[in-house]
Amino acid sequence: MLRIAVQAKGRLNEQSMELLNEAGVSVNMEKRKFLVRAEGFPAEIIFLRDDDIPQTVAIGAADLGIVGYNEVAEKGLEVSQLQKLGFGGCRLSLAIPKSETYTGLEYFNGKRIATSYPEILRKFFEQNGIDAQIHTITGSVEIAPTAGLADAIFDIVSSGGTLVSNGLVEVEKVVYSEAVLIANPELSEEKMALARQLMSRFEAVRNGQGKKYLLMNVPMTALDDAISLLPAMRSPTVIPLANSDWCSLQTVVDEKNLWNLIESLKEIGAEGILVLSLDKIVL
């Protein structure tokens, strides 16, 4: 049985549990405990603070973990990164008070920088030959400059709203992060096989995200035009109709472009266009 570490509460919890659930690893969230046996897959979920997940996986107290890449990079422990999971996107950036003039990385020489990610920042400064003082704070890093604790900060940014409301501007984007699946590097063959199964399920779930299944009737005379408008995994499916002047055309499309595509299809004579939700795509 696999033991999977997941953030107990916080930004990654909900999407981690949703991904597991979509992948057939269901957990009864009602009687929520520290350790819960999953249904439908030989796994148990251990709920932890995200900071503790890399270490728990590195020492083998959990086989797999779902955690932000930022935490994995900061801890620098020996874990295998198996897969990016496509949620929890953010970046680690340097930000300075907006009243200051930014002159490039040398700006940070001799400055005090507050951060919860001292190791990532130390390496970045080292690589770039910057000599700054790194002050490690856990908690609200973004208030450090106003509070006189630091000249600048190195922190997680997603929309940038928190920076703006604290009078800061982002001046260097250092690391991009998203949730990742990590594994203990010495998993047994059996556990690795289960982990691989889980990875291909996660991939199928992700492939289905942002996609729709489109079905429509097209006059035979417009079939070539319709096909040239449509992307497809291999090639669109064409099914004859009882009326031989028409056929049914079916394919998977990106949700992003959906409305433009529908307008173009209507223009060439497509009718009865159905847009269906799509759950998973196994390639």
183 makes contact with ligand ATP (CB under 6 A) = no
Which of 28, 128, 136, 158 contacts ligand ATP by CB under 6 A? Answer: 158
How is residue 156 written in tokens? 């997680």
88 makes contact with ligand ATP (CB under 6 A) = yes
CB 36 within 8 A of CB 45: yes
Closest to 135 in 3D by CA, of 108, 158, 160: 108
**Residues 98 to 137: which contact ligand ATP by CB under 6 A?**
none
* DSSP helix, strand, coil percent of the chain (3-state; round to 5): 30, 35, 35
- Choosing among ligand ATP, Mg ion, none, which partner's interface includes residue 180 (Cβ < 5 to 8 Å by kind)? none
54 makes contact with ligand ATP (CB under 6 A) = no
Residue with tokens 């270490």: 55
**Residue 253, SS3?**
strand
Instruction: Count the site residues for ligand ATP by CB under 6 A.
Output: 15
Q: Which is nearer to ligand ATP, 5 or 43 (CB)?
A: 5
CA distance linking residue 252 with residue 173, whole number of Å = 35
Looking at 8-16, 120-128, 210-218, 265-273, which segment touches ligand ATP (CB under 6 A)?
8-16
CB of 102 to ligand ATP, least distance (A): 22
7 makes contact with ligand ATP (CB under 6 A) = yes
Which of 50, 52, 74, 151 contacts Mg ion by CB under 5 A? Answer: 50
Which of 13, 15, 51, 171 contacts Mg ion by CB under 5 A? Answer: 51
CB of 9 to ligand ATP, least distance (A): 6
**Residue 106, SS3?**
helix
Residue with smallest beta-carbon separation from ligand ATP:
68
CB 135 within 8 A of CB 115: yes
145 makes contact with ligand ATP (CB under 6 A) = no
* Continuous segment of H or E residues that includes residue 104: none
Tally of CA atoms within 13 A in the half-sphere of 33 that contains its CB: 8
CB 247 within 8 A of CB 241: yes
Which residues make up the interface to ligand ATP (CB under 6 A)? 7, 10-12, 49-51, 68, 70-71, 88, 90, 156, 158, 177
